[in-house]
A and B are shown apart, each in its own frame.
Chain A
Amino acid sequence: MADGRKQEFAVVGKSVPRVDGPPKVTGTPIYTVDMERPGMLHAAILRSTVPHGRIRRVDKSRAEQAEGVVLVVTGEDLKTMPGIDPYFGPAFRDQAILAIDKVRYIGDPIAAVVATRRELAYEALDLIDVEYEELPPVLDPVEAARPGSPLVHEQLRPAKAFADLAEIEPGKATNVCYHFKLRRGDVEQGFAQSAHVFEDWYYSPPAQHMMMEPHAALAWVDSDGVLTVITGSQSPSYVKGSLGAIFGLPQNKVRVMVPLVGGAYGGKLYDKLEPLASLLTFMARRPVKIQLTREEVFITITKHGVVSHVRTGVSQDGKILARKVEVYWDTGAYADIAPRVVHKSGYTSAGAYRVPNIWIDSYCVYTNKPPAGAFRGFGVPQVVWALESQMDMIAEKLGRDPLQFRLENVLLEGDLFATGTPVHSAGLKESLEAVAREIKWEPGVRKAVKPGTKSGVARAKGVACGIKAVITPSISGAIVVMNNDASVNVLTSTVEMGQGSDTALSQIAAEELGVRLQDVRVMHPDTAVTPYDTITAGSRSTYHMGNAIRLAAQEVKRQLFETASDRLEVDPDQLVARDGRIFVAEAPTRGLPIPEVFQARFGARGATLQGQAVFKTYAAPMDHETGQSEKVTEYWFPGATAAEVEVDLETGKVRVVKLVEACDVGRAINPHHCEQQIIGSALISLGQTLFEQMILENGELLNPTLLDYKVLTLKDVPESAVPIVIEVPHKDGPFGAKGVGETGTLSVSAAIGNAVYRATGVRVKELPITPEKVLRGLRAGQ
């Protein structure tokens, strides 16, 4: 944390206000849901009412006659359309634009109605008759993984869309669409040498992203035959490729544009409404817009429900000797990006500690439920919930302070991760120490509630920590265009979805080019213009796009220096760019304002200089059987949580009094925004810890509205919620920066669970920690 070095920077490291703040608070930006096109039609989706079944017959004739209806299309129609491959998916092409032959969950799209008004399209859905032959539904992921279970998918086709998923091969005749394995040391011998072995099941339920803007897409075909889609997507480059593959179009005939996005949290990645909107616009020959209702968002994409079994062996002096983890990921009817979730969370399933003997089996399992995909934290919060709950149970058994027990075992710089990869820039210890300081941690073992205490309030503190790795390999491209007045346009496919990328990337460009923050404008994705970017997700944009922009800006600067060095008669490497001028480092008065450099170079108003760069990261391929790799990730982002809770002993209700979250961000490009990301993600987790869950019965979602699915509101925020920015600079990060979008989600649930245990003696192993579970535990203990 080199405060001295920060002084070198003009814009980076400063808590400048958001560049998109004023427009957003004055309500001026246009989001996808606001978009219209002349002649635009609206589509509505008919969805399956059974969890698993063969489609016997779909009769759309009555709907076709309804008022305002332009066309009705079904999966059956897709089968006979020439030149269309109707399946999509980033890992497996397992999802049809509209269900073909089979439906796989309650909510599976069966048919679409296109009408002149949105209400009329929804109205006509009731006129479509569907006959099913119901099949036994597959509902429990552990059961579904067993041989002989009914199959959700009879066969699978890998998508080959991403380098990091290249190794994924589908299992045969099983619902396990991906199995991640990690083997390190000799786990059985480790258990044999252990003084204590702990074994527990944990559960984390499916949950919602709850972005404010629902999924929406508007598609049309331009006069020159270009399929154009405006969509609130986190992955415009992927969507371009996917639409090309589905409709057999050259990549320059697909154009995907993403305006500001009203929140995403992982729920707007890969194909969502874009394939259907495109299909419908081709058929209707008019612009078509689809916008989901909140109820539809609920069944479009979810956070994985996870069942995990953790077995840990420790020595009497508190060393972790062996850990065996078995995790079942309930991925629902379609895999979406789940294999990557299972892979990434799979190799972090042994936790943030030095463990010599590790065995991990992580199963991605199809069931007849709404699909699960990416969610802020990408699966790691679910495994950390299990691991870090057990860490406290171990510490108690050993009579150790849980904080101290963690600090003694936690991974330090250069230690080998479970994958055999040395750890760099992983401020775990720093994060744990910071939260402990802030919460005023009192060392020692738990003070239990006196037996027989039935009323009053019990109060205690808990800690936990977690670590996540960034997706590797991945690619970000950027083009930096400088205008002759020193103003700058940055062309990137990074999506501003509320996380602050417009601001952070502007700061990086301004710093590198030596211009003011307000001189930089980050342009939003338009795949006809902006270069490829893997995804806006996984806490990768600041690092990857930041590096790409920095390199592209250096190319612009090189050209500026080239011209300036002629005029100033000095070597280019003696020049610096700062405050809108190019000048000699040793003699700052010898210099030129940037507009004069342009004048010297072009002599033309409106002239531009361009620089472009592609930033790519590499991973050493993992061994298939052991999960070992010299370099598994480009960087780690560790975090720690401390929570102080009060539990009402009569009701079991938990009130979080104070929540402290510390995350290692590498270098804070914008410290205040880092704090907001840290506390924002911690609060999302707080809601999921205490009350959020999708309740499903026989595949049917029982709480598909915000009336019954409760999210955290302002009234639930602890009186004290403290974000702490830890800076352990990364050697290759832009100015040392890494990412911070997800770190705050990792360990909140476990820290609260541990605090509840320390307050009451009740160990809840199934999220959410509802008052009823706590009260049942209290009663059982009395």
Chain B
Amino acid sequence: MRPFKLLDPRSLDEACQMLDRYGEDVKLMSGGTAILILLRQRVFSKPYFINLKAVPGLDGIRDEPGTGLRIGALATLRAVETSPIVRQRAPLITETFRLVANVRVRNSGTLGGNLSHGDYRLDPPAPLLVLGAKAVAVSSRGRNTYELKEFFRGLFETALQPDEILTEVVVPDAPPKAGTAYFKYTSLSETDWPCLGVAALVTPSDGGGTCGELRVAVTSVAERPMLLEHLGPLARGKRLTERLLEELGDAAAERVDPIADARGSEWYKKEMVRVFVRRAVREAARRAGLAAG
């Protein structure tokens, strides 16, 4: 690991100034779970890091009526996972976060770090995408809000500008009666990065019996986590039969361009998109009180 200097800002303003001052020579660090590995492997280095943990007040989790959940970027994955408010307002987040890596990583890694890293192999983006989350960033230029579905741009690439700091994630309330589910699939060891992850949200139609809204996001399979918006119209107003689930799986696989690696070839991962979109939607529908099939 190359030597570096850790800067401790006492406020968000100071952190923004540090970003402006050091420019290319500095990078933000929060939980450090991803960046320390890259430093240790000597594939990445910077002379300076800004220790965001030094900034107070960025790790709050609260429910704001009318807006939704407001989760500070410095909240650890474990804090989000175990938060009673999160469990009550967005059980899908709780369900997903408890599957991330292991408890040591979750105790250190933060929500903001997780999203800003832009690594395609992460679980948290999937539930946040189906819940329509927004990412709030600040810089010395001001404040900026990104729709999460537009936040992930490519491999390790996000919409964040170099001078911006992700400060908060806002998660709107799920539609009434929504059923949600997250399926993480590991093709190697249980503790491996996911081969893919699928989050689904289903609401029953007003009349009941058929599907109202359907939202599906896939992660860990292509260059970036994706909200598959073309699936919703295919299911709206229809009964979620096995045949429709199969069509949804196929439609999802068509839109996904998998990265082949040790966890599976492109062919295999496409097949798994089919399987796990079916499973996730089926389970979300069940939880929404809709009988599948």
Contacts and interface: CB of A to CB of B under 8 A. Distances in A.
A713 B189 contact: yes
A772 B268 contact: yes
B41 to A, nearest CB: 7
Interface in B71-86: none
Interface in A522-573: none
Interface stretch (A48-56, A228-236, A351-359, A701-709): A701-709
Contact of A119 (B3, B187, B264, B271): B3
A770 interface: yes
Contacts of B41: 295, 705
A392 B3 CA distance: 57
A707 B193 contact: yes
Contacts of A279: none
Contacts of A393: none
Interface in B149-202: 185, 187-193
Category for how many chain A residues contact B: 20 to 34
Given A650-B275, A705-B41, A711 B189 contact: yes
B2 interface: yes
A3 B233 CA distance: 73
Interface string A686-697: 010011010100
Interface string A702-726: 1101011011110110000000000
A716 B187 CA distance: 12
A392 B265 CA distance: 29
A713 B189 CA distance: 7
Category for how many chain B residues contact A: 20 to 34
B208 to A, nearest CB: 27
A772 B189 contact: no
Contacts of A770: 187-188, 264
A651 B189 contact: no
B191 A713 contact: yes
A295 B37 CA distance: 12
Given A703-B262, A772-B264, A710 B189 contact: yes
A713 B190 contact: yes
Nearest to A704: B41
A166 B156 CA distance: 56
A770 B41 CA distance: 28
B34 to A, nearest CB: 10
B105 to A, nearest CB: 11
B8 to A, nearest CB: 22
Contacts of A122: 42
B234 interface: no
A712 B191 CA distance: 9
Contact of B37 (A123, A691, A707, A713): A707
B44 to A, nearest CB: 14
Contacts of A707: 37, 193
Nearest to A455: B275
B1 interface: yes
Given A119-B3, A703-B262, A651 B188 contact: no
A710 B188 contact: yes
Interface in A649-693: 650-651, 653, 687, 690-691, 693
A693 B188 CA distance: 11
A286 B60 CA distance: 53
Contact of A691 (B189, B193, B265): B189
B113 to A, nearest CB: 17
A710 B192 contact: yes
Contacts of B193: 707
Contact of B190 (A293, A716, A772, A776): A716
A771 interface: yes
Nearest to B276: A651
Contacts of A708: 261-262
Contacts of A712: 189
B204 to A, nearest CB: 25
B272 interface: yes
Contact of A715 (B185, B190, B272): B190
Contacts of B185: 651
A115 to B, nearest CB: 13
Interface in A607-656: 650-651, 653
Contacts of B1: 119
A686 to B, nearest CB: 11
B15 to A, nearest CB: 27
A775 interface: yes
Interface string B1-24: 111000000000000000000000
B114 to A, nearest CB: 16
Contact of B188 (A295, A691, A702, A705): A691
B42 to A, nearest CB: 8
A687 B265 contact: no
A208 B73 CA distance: 38
B282 to A, nearest CB: 11
B1 to A, nearest CB: 7
A685 to B, nearest CB: 14
A653 B189 contact: no
A123 B2 CA distance: 7
B191 A695 contact: no
A295 B272 CA distance: 31
B187 A771 contact: yes
A653 B37 CA distance: 29
A18 B274 CA distance: 51
Contacts of A119: 1-3
Contact of A695 (B2, B187, B262, B275): B262
Contact of B275 (A293, A651, A710, A716): A651
A776 B268 CA distance: 9
Nearest to A768: B188
Interface in B191-228: 191-193
A653 B3 contact: no
A511 to B, nearest CB: 42
Contacts of B3: 119, 123
Interface in B253-274: 261-262, 264-265, 268, 271-272
A702 B261 CA distance: 10
Given A123-B3, A710-B188, 11 more contacts: A119-B1, A293-B40, A651-B275, A705-B37, A710-B191, A710-B262, A712-B189, A716-B191, A770-B187, A772-B268, A775-B268
26 contacts: A119-B1, A119-B2, A123-B3, A293-B40, A295-B41, A650-B275, A690-B188, A691-B187, A695-B262, A702-B262, A703-B262, A708-B261, A710-B192, A710-B262, A712-B189, A715-B189, A715-B190, A715-B191, A716-B190, A770-B187, A770-B264, A771-B187, A771-B268, A772-B264, A772-B265, A776-B268
Q: Which 10 A/B pairs are nearest by Cβ-Cβ distance?
A: A715-B190, A691-B188, A710-B189, A710-B188, A772-B268, A713-B191, A650-B275, A771-B187, A710-B192, A772-B264
